[in-house]
Amino acid sequence: MSEYFGHPERVEIWPAQTHLQPIDCVEIAWIRMLGACDLLSAQRAKKNASAIVYYKVDQAARKRGLAQAGMAVANYTAQLRSA
């Protein structure tokens, strides 16, 4: 991701209940860097928050899909062996 700053392992994501005025009562995912959580940093990082959230969701779905596929293969193999 371009314009990313900080350490990836030290990023926290949380729903926005911040000192900024809400925009049409829409919750926004914000990034808070430990040690760099001032308002300007949060505003600069705002556009990267959704990308990180979606990446984590995509990775979780991918892992879940791989686990289900692995179980299906194991079940099919067991059925072939028992036949």
- Read off the pLDDT of residues 37-63 as tens digits, 9 standing for 90 and up: 455 555 566 656 555 555 566 667 777
Which amino acid does the sequence have at 36?
A
Asked if the model's pLDDT at residue 28 lies above 70, the reply is no
To the nearest 10°, report the CA torsion of 56, 61, 64, 69: -140
Where exactly are the structural domains of the chain?
8-82
| Amino acid 45: pLDDT | 60
Instruction: Give the model's pLDDT for residue 65.
Output: 75
Structure tokens at 34: 């430990």
Give the model's pLDDT for residue 75.
Answer: 83
On whether the CB atoms of residues 49 and 26 are closer than 8 A, the answer is: no
What integer is the mean pLDDT of 9-35? Answer: 45
Q: State pTM to two decimals.
A: 0.31
Q: Which residues contact 3 (CB under 8 A, 6 or more apart)?
A: 44, 48
